[in-house]
Structure 1
Amino acid sequence: MTKILQISDTHIVPAGTLAYDKVDTAAALSDTVATINRLLPQVGPVELVIVTGDLTEHGTDEEYARFRDILGDLTVPYCAVPGNHDRREPMRQAFASADWMPVVGPLDWMTEFSDMAVICVDTLVEGAAHGALSQASARFLRESLARLGGKPVLLGLHHPPYASGIAAMDAQNLIDPSPLRKALAGYPGEVRIVCGHLHRTITGLFDGRICQVCPGTSHAVTLDQRRDAGNSLTVEPGGMLLHEIREGALLSHWIPVGRFDGPHPFLGV
C-alpha cells in the first residue's frame, strides 16, 4: 500500500526576511517537517514526499540552500518540480546530486512502485506567472504512461488546469490545458492530478479525472471570488495531502500542519 505525501508552495526567502513582509515561510516549513516526522508512526510508512512547486520566492541559490537545509530534517525522501517562483537552472544545480533531477531539459521525473506510479511534470514558463506544458514535457508524460500498463498514477504539476473562481489566480493557471488533455487521452488506469499554486484545498475534475490542489505550508491565496478582487494572501493554517493506494484506487487525506489537542477517546461509544 504505497503512500505519498504532498506539500506545496513553501516560498522560502533569505534568512532574516519574511515573504511579502508578512509570512515566516521557513518557520512554517520547519513545522511541516516536524509534523510529518511526528505523524509517520500513525500514518506510515510513507515512501515519498513530493513538493509541487514554488519551493522558493525568487529562485536564488541562497533560497534553495535554505530549503534543502530545512528539508534535511525530513525522515522521508523527497522530490520536487518547479513553480512560477522558481528558476529552472538554479533549481537544477541545487538538486544536481539527486537521482530524480534531469541533467538537461524540463524538470520532469517519474518513480514507479509496485501498485502505483508518481509522475511530475514541469509547467514553469520562465519570467511568467502562468504555466504551460511544453512539447518535451507532454512527450515525457505520454511516454511514461505508455510504460505503465494502466497502473494508478499520481500526476504532479504546479499550475492547476481549471478555474477556481479566484479571478486573479485563474489568469495565472495552466493557460492551455489541451497538451495535458491529449497526453492523458486513452490511458486506461486512474490518474489523479495534484497541483499547487492556489495554496488552498480544492478538488475538481479535469477531463473526467480528479484534480486536487494542495494547500500551502504557510499561507493561502485569499478565497475571494468577486470579479474585481485583487490578488492577496491570507495567513491561514498550513496543510498537506496524503495520497495512498487503498483497495486498488487512490485515496487522499488533508492533514493540517502543527500540534492540536488530542487524541481523546470517544467515551461511552
Structure 2
Amino acid sequence: MNKPFVVAQISDLHLKADHKLTYGVVDCLGALRRAVDHLNASQPRPDIVVISGDLVDFGRPEEYAVLGMELARLHMPFYLVPGNHDVREHLLAEFAQHAYLPINARAPLDWVVEEHPVRLIGLDSTIPGQHGGQVLDSQLLWLDAQLSRRPDVPTLLILHHPPFITGIGHMDREPFINAAGLKSVVARHPQVERLLCGHLHRPMQRRFGGSISCVCPGTSHQIVLDFQESAPAHFNLEPAGYLLHHWHPQQGLVTHNAVFGEFAGPYPFYDADGLID
C-alpha cells in the first residue's frame, strides 16, 4: 500500500458539562466543536484521530456524555487514552462501544489497535487521584511483549504524560515515574516512530529512546512558555493547535504542527505583475 496514512492528534480537551467557561475564561466546549469541524473539513481528511488525554475536566459521567456526543461528529475513527483529569470507570462507561479499550477500570487502560498501516499502542500513564504520570513495571513488560510481536510494523505509542523534563518549572515538579524503564523498552524496538503525548498544552519534541516524543498543544488554552524556576502556573490563549502525523511507506513519518482557526490566504507566491519573489 503506497497511499499516505494521516493521523491527527488532539489533546487536553478539558470538557465540562455545564457550558461554563473554564477558569472563567476558556470555552473548552466551543474549542472542541471548532476542532471537530476543522478536522472534518480538512482536505485531505485525516484517516484517524488520536486523543492524548485530559478528555474532560473533572472525570464526571455527565462530562463524558457531552464528550461522547461531540466526538461522535467526527467523520473518522478516533482513539482515546486517559489523562490525569480523567476517571477510568466513567470513561469506559461512556465509550463501552470502543472495543479496543479494556473492560477493567481498576487497571491501566492500555490497548493495541492493529488495523491500520501504522500500529497504535495506547499506554495509560495516569496515577488515579494524582497530577503526575508513571508507567508500572507490569505495563513495561506488557509493552515489551507487544512490541516484540510485530517488530517490522511502524508503531505509535500514545500516552498522556511526556516522559521527560521540559524546563517549565511548575510542570516539572512531578517528574514522570519510571521514565528510564520506558526509555529502555522503546530503545529495544526501533519500529516505535513516535511517542504521542499531551498534558503540557504546548508543542514540544524530544529524542527519547532512539525515537521522538511529540507533545501536542491543547485544543483551547496553552501553558505559558516560561523557563524561570519561580514561574507561576499560568495559561494563555495562544492559538489552539494539533499535530498531523503523515506516514508514507517509502518516506516514513513526518509530524506537522498545525493550528485551528481561519486565517487570511492562501496567497500565491507572486505579485500583481506575475513576478515570483
TM-score between the two structures when normalised by the length of structure 2: 0.91
1:128-168 CA distances to partner (integer Å, 9 max, x unpaired)? Answer: 00011123322331122111123221111100011110011
Q: Which amino acid aligns with 1:263?
A: P
- The equivalent residue for 1:191 is 193
Aligned counterpart for 1:27 among listed residues 26, 30, 33? 30
State the SS of the aligned residue for 2:239: coil
Structure 1 residue 226: deviation in Å? 0.3
Distance in 1 between residues matched to 2:143 and 2:23, nearest whole Å: 35
CA 1:16–1:115 in 2, change beyond 3 Å: closer, same or farther?
closer
- Contact 1:122–1:157 at 8 Å: present in 2 too? yes
Aligned counterparts, 1:144-163, within 5 A: 144-163=146-165
State the SS of the aligned residue for 2:184: helix
- Percent sequence identity over matched residues? 37
Does residue 79 in structure 1 map to residue 82 in structure 2? no
1:86-115 CA distances to partner (integer Å, 9 max, x unpaired)? Answer: 111111111112112111232111112564
- The equivalent residue for 1:106 is 108
Distance in 2 between residues matched to 1:244 and 1:200, nearest whole Å: 20
Distance in 2 between residues matched to 1:62 and 1:173, nearest whole Å: 31
- The equivalent residue for 1:94 is 94
Aligned counterpart for 1:166 among listed residues 168, 178, 195? 168
Aligned counterpart for 1:253 among listed residues 243, 251, 256? 256
- The equivalent residue for 1:116 is 118
- Contact 1:53–1:81 at 8 Å: present in 2 too? yes
Give every structure 1 segment of 4 or more consecutive aligned residues whose post-TM-superposition deviation is greater than 3 Å. Answer: none
CA 1:61–1:263 in 2, change beyond 3 Å: closer, same or farther?
same
- The equivalent residue for 2:58 is 58
When the two structures are aligned, how many residues end up with a matched partner?
Answer: 266
Shifted more, 247-256 versus 184-193: the winner is 184-193
Distance in 1 between residues matched to 2:124 and 2:178, nearest whole Å: 14
Shifted more, 206-215 versus 50-59: the winner is 206-215
Distance in 2 between residues matched to 1:173 and 1:27, nearest whole Å: 32
Structure 1 residue 192: deviation in Å? 0.9
- Contact 1:216–1:239 at 8 Å: present in 2 too? yes
Shifted more, 91-100 versus 209-218: the winner is 91-100
Aligned counterparts, 1:11-22, within 5 A: 11-22=14-25
Distance in 2 between residues matched to 1:99 and 1:114, nearest whole Å: 15
Aligned counterpart for 2:241 among listed residues 239, 242, 254? 239
Q: Which amino acid aligns with 2:58?
A: H
- Contact 1:150–1:190 at 8 Å: present in 2 too? no
Unaligned stretches of 5+ in structure 2?
none
Quote the RMSD (CA, aligned, Å).
1.5
- Contact 1:159–1:173 at 8 Å: present in 2 too? no
1:28-54 CA distances to partner (integer Å, 9 max, x unpaired)? Answer: 000000110111xx233x321000000
Greater C-alpha radius of gyration: 2
